[in-house]
Each structure stands twice: as structure tokens, then as C-alpha cells.
Amino acid sequence: MNDLSPSLFSRWGALVVGGTIAAALALLVVSRLASASGDPPAPASAPASPTPQDSTVRTASDTTARRYSKSGYDITPWPREQVLEAAKSLTEEQRRILLDAGTEPAFCGVFTDNKEDGIYVCAVGGLPLFKSDHKFISKSGWASFFAPFDPEHIIEKVDRSHGMVRTEILDARTGAHLGHVFDDGPAPTGKRYCLNSGALRFIKKGDPIPAESMPALETAYFAGGCFWGVEDAFAKVKGVIDVESGFSNGKYEKVTYKQVCNGDTGAAEVVKIVFDPKVVAYGDLVKQFFRIHDPTTPNRQGPDIGDQYRSAIFVTSPEQEKAAKEIIASLGKNPGFSKAFNGRPIVTQIAPVTNYVRAEEYHQDYHAKNGGQCHVRGYQGEF
């Protein structure tokens, strides 16, 4: 970015909205000095360090705290009554293992020597627990794994029963007993997760996956100019769990903000959105996207010019691509949209997301930390 970059004026000028002109000028000076050194601009008054985030989230549509794992599964603990109801369909032996911390006899479990490809889910609740890729034959007499599907899907607890001190493992969603974990496993973890087969259900690769064993969350990617403003606008949407500024669909797997500003990486400034489709549909996020940017200006949003500011929807599935194309086609026939943008056609790119990279930390939650706003006003009419 050169000293007269319009995007720089746009970004720092937006800070006047949330603060004083003097503060904005001070930030601009700091930015220029930092830009020359290659370091990120520091706010004149540094915001308090954010507290470490866990996987507990509270959506605008639900006052009940819910927990999601990093792999997108709902791991909100079930009430005991719900666990007992779900366990009614299991065998008496499975209920003894899962609900009463029982142990099946060695070398009797149906999955002890199973070598098929697939995933192992909890027999009650269906939360994915282990992958066949992490399974090994330990000769202990029980199904053994060296790593879990997602560490957040497993709860570890000290077990002092039977005159021993061991580490018990429980299902994070239902609290059901699974087995124990020991420190005598193979590389790379050195762990041996020792499982009762009766606590598991196996889903063979290629077989249909039940809804309870599917991720609860989905991910969307939108490029609509300065990601500070796009991130801020989506963070307010009911059903959005997390927003993150980054870069994607460039030539390289790893890029920095400074490299993207040079204009030769092909990467776009994007916002990665994690959302709960039960609360907000993907199509509604696409509509929100068109409300907060101008989809008719190639490689530009307001004063920000360059292919990193292009309008784009980067999709993760054929369903997302279909929804985005349908909304764009509808807007193309919408007289209100045509009037709002003086007949200019939509230039929004639709492509599979590639080479996504999280942006530097100082870009994250920028307006939430520093005030102001910088997204462009988009289409405000009926869809």
C-alpha cells in the first residue's frame, strides 16, 4: 500500500465516526510509521486484551448458553432425563456400560479388532468420538485409539474406583462412560484411549450419517470490501456464532495483510462466518451480504480500490452455491435493485473457497474494539 492509498484514508477516516478527529489523525500517523516498518498499526489507546474464549456461546435468539466444539458440533450437556430417554433403545449391557460405568470383558467387544474405515460415535447421543485413522491394535483386549475425533468431545475425569487411580473418559454431550485413557500409546500422542465397544456405534465410510452425528454449525465466506466493516455487520446477525477477518482465494496458501495490499497475491479480504443454520438460513446471510456492500463495482468498495476489495461469495458446498446463484438471479430481475444501482449489473463472483488464511490479530473485532464503521451501504429494498 503506498502513502496515498485510498483504502488507508477510508479505514482511518472511518474512525472519526467513533472518536475524535485528533484521535484519528494520531492513529493515521502511527499507521504510516508502522506501514513503513512493516509492523501492524497500533491503536493510540490499546484496547484491553480480550479474555480467552472457550466454546460456550450465547446466540441472540437463545438465552440459553450452548457449547460448540471447534469442529462445529453441539456439545451442550444433555439433561439426565434426556440421556435416560435416549438410552431406552440400547441393550441392557450397553446401559450398564454407559450409565453405570461398567466394563465389558476383554477381547469380547465387537470393535476391538475392527479395521474398516469410518467414525465411531457415542451409542447414546451420537456425538463423533474417534476416527478409524486413529485406531490401532493394542492387544489390551479393548478397542484402542491414539487420538479423539475432537478433544472437546471427550471429558477426562480422575477415577479412584477398584483401588486404582485412572483417568476415566466420558462423552461430552451425554456424560456417558466410555472407558479410560492411558499414557502408553503410540506416537504421535503417546495416548491409548481404551474403549468399551458397547459404548460406541460405528458408521462405515460412505454410509449415511444420522443428523445427531452431523456438525451443528456451518461456515460461510463473504468478500465485500474492507473486512473490518463486513465483520462488524455480520456479528450482529441472530444465529451467527463467530466472525473472523481473513484472506482467501489467492495464489498462495499463506499471505499477510501487507502482501495483500501490494495487490499481486490475488487474495480477497473476506469474513469467515460460523453460524447455526437452525437459527439463520444461509440464504439470509447472502441477503445480508447484499445489504452491506455494493455488488456492482468491480474490484472496488467506495474509496477502497483493488482486487482484494472485490465482491465475492466463496462457497463450501453445492447447496451454498445454488442458494447464492438463486438470490443473484432474483436480484437481477428486481426493478427495485436495478433502480437502486442505476441499472448496473451484479459483478459478484461465486467460487469454492480456497487458501483461506486468518488475518493478523489486530484486524479481528476491529470496530468492536475501536468504534466506528466502514462498510458500504448496499441494497435496502425487498428481495
Q: What is the pLDDT of residue 189?
A: 97
- The structural domains of the chain, ordered by start, are 80-213 (2.170.150.20), 217-370 (3.30.1060.10)
Q: What is the pLDDT of residue 32?
A: 32
Low-confidence ranges of the chain (pLDDT < 50): 1-63
Say which residues have a Cβ less than 8 Å from residue 13's Cβ, sequence separation at least 6: 24
Q: Does an H or E element contain 296, and which?
A: none
Q: Locate 284 and state its grid cell.
A: 439470509
Q: What is the pLDDT of residue 26?
A: 42
| Through-space distance between the first and last CA atoms of the chain, rounded to whole angstroms | 37
Q: Locate 332 and state its grid cell.
A: 437481477
Quote the CA–CA distance of 299 and 296 in Å, as a whole number. Answer: 9
Residue in the block written with cell 474512525: 15
Q: What is the pLDDT of residue 43?
A: 35
Q: Does an H or E element contain 4, and which?
A: none
Quote the CA–CA distance of 307 and 265 in Å, as a whole number. Answer: 9
Q: What is the pLDDT of residue 323?
A: 97
Quote the CA–CA distance of 277 and 216 in Å, as a whole number. Answer: 8
Quote the CA–CA distance of 117 and 120 in Å, as a whole number. Answer: 10
Q: What is the pLDDT of residue 66?
A: 83
Q: What is the pLDDT of residue 22?
A: 40
Residues tagged active-site: 194, 226
Quote the CA–CA distance of 11 and 280 in Å, as a whole number. Answer: 30
pTM of the prediction?
Answer: 0.65
Quote the CA–CA distance of 369 and 263 in Å, as a whole number. Answer: 27
Q: What is the pLDDT of residue 37?
A: 38
